[in-house]
């Protein structure tokens, strides 16, 4: 009797550790993808990032397939596909942009905060930059709404304020653009994404110098 209890206890403990181990492995893969993306975006020149982003998009797609109901892999799939869209042209760019939008919209269904606003700001940038109907899904009103959602979650974010400033500048809302560029300039870089945030701070500085 005692032996059966000990066996059951041992099995129970063993089974209880499996999900935790799985979660840790999942987090490690996301961290690896994020770090690789940071290096590609900050260490390679625009126009030379295609191969790295293509490889990362494949990794993110596989991770999402294995964890379809987890929001964070979807957010990173969206971020990577959005970055790749900027490197591509024609139908390839549109394909990546649509893949990014679909992944991010699924992510915010699962996590309304969108990974601390990252999904929302990326959606805003996608709706801002994509061509409008009938070519694609670009829409300025939707972009504005997405950016405002991101700001409600992380109002001091460098990325949130820079991308919103860029959008506002294109909309000829220059006073608002200037204000958000200033916020990006003094915003706090995230420890986990310091390199890309600091690069965007410099973009905000360059935007302010144009006014």
Question: Please, which pLDDT band fits residue 211 given cuts at 50, 70 and 90?
Answer: confident
Phi, psi of 77 (to 5 degrees): -60, -45
The answer to whether residue 3 scores a pLDDT higher than 50 is: no
CB 128 within 8 A of CB 140: yes
Q: Is residue 144 part of a domain?
A: yes
Query: What value does the mean pLDDT take over residues 72-91?
Result: 95
Query: What value does the mean pLDDT take over residues 182-197?
Result: 94
Sign of CA dihedral 154, 157, 159, 162: positive
Number of domains in the chain: 1
Structural domain span for residue 124? 20-154
- pLDDT score of 147: 98
Angle of helix 194-210 relative to helix 2-43, nearest 10 degrees, comes to 30
Cα 188 from Cα 157, distance rounded (Å)? 7
Q: Is residue 175 part of a domain?
A: no
The answer to whether residue 12 scores a pLDDT higher than 60 is: no
- pLDDT score of 26: 79
- pLDDT score of 201: 97
Q: Is residue 117 part of a domain?
A: yes
- pLDDT score of 24: 59
Q: Is residue 6 part of a domain?
A: no
**pLDDT digit string, tens, across residues 34-72:** 999 999 999 999 889 999 999 999 999 999 999 999 999
Query: What value does the mean pLDDT take over residues 6-30?
Result: 50
**pLDDT digit string, tens, across residues 24-39:** 577 899 999 999 999 9
Query: What value does the mean pLDDT take over residues 13-30?
Result: 57
The answer to whether residue 6 scores a pLDDT higher than 90 is: no
- Between 158 and 7, whose confidence is greater? 158
Question: Please, which pLDDT band fits residue 158 given cuts at 50, 70 and 90?
Answer: very high
Question: Which residue from 73, 52, 55 is spatially nearest to 64, judged by alpha carbons?
Answer: 73
Question: Please, which pLDDT band fits residue 18 given cuts at 50, 70 and 90?
Answer: very low
Tokens 């974010």 belong to residue: 157
- How many CA atoms are closer than 13 Å to the CA of 170, on its beta-carbon side? 14
Which tokens sit at 86?
């900027």
For the chain, give the secondary structure using H, E and C: CHHHHHHHHHHHHHHHHHHHHHHHHHHHHHHHHHHHHHHHHHHCCCCCCHHHHHHHHHHHHHHHHHCCCCHHHHHHHHHHHHHHHHHCCHHHHHHHHHHHHHHHHHHHHHCCCCCCCHHHHHHHHHHHHCCECCCCCECHHHHHHHHHHHHHHCCCCHHHHHHHHHHHHHCCCHHHHHHHHHHHHHCCCCHHHHHHHHHHHHHHHHHHHHC
Query: What value does the mean pLDDT take over residues 120-136?
Result: 96
- The enclosing domain of 141 has a CATH number of 1.25.40.10
Q: Is residue 3 part of a domain?
A: no
Question: Which residue from 38, 72, 36, 9 is spatially nearest to 199, judged by alpha carbons?
Answer: 38
Q: Is residue 24 part of a domain?
A: yes
The answer to whether residue 149 scores a pLDDT higher than 50 is: yes
């Amino acid at each position: 009797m005692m032996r059966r209890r000990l066996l059951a206890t041992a099995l129970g403990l063993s089974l209880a550790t499996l999900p935790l181990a799985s979660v840790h492995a999942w987090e490690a893969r996301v961290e690896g993808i994020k770090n690789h993306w940071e290096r590609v975006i900050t260490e390679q020149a625009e126009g030379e990032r295609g191969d790295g982003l293509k490889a990362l998009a494949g990794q993110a797609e596989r991770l999402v397939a294995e964890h379809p109901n987890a929001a964070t892999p979807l957010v990173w799939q969206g971020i990577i596909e959005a970055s790749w869209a900027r490197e591509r042209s024609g139908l390839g760019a549109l394909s990546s942009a649509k893949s990014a939008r679909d992944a991010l919209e699924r992510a915010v269904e699962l996590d309304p905060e969108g990974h601390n606003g990252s999904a929302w700001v990326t959606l805003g940038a996608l709706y801002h930059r994509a061509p409008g109907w009938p070519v694609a899904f670009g829409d300025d009103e939707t972009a504005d709404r997405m950016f405002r959602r991101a700001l409600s979650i992380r109002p001091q974010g460098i990325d949130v304020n820079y991308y919103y400033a860029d959008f506002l500048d294109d909309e000829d809302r220059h006073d608002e653009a200037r204000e958000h560029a200033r916020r990006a300039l003094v915003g706090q870089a995230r420890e986990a994404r310091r390199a890309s945030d600091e690069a965007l701070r410099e973009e905000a500085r360059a935007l302010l110098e144009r006014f």
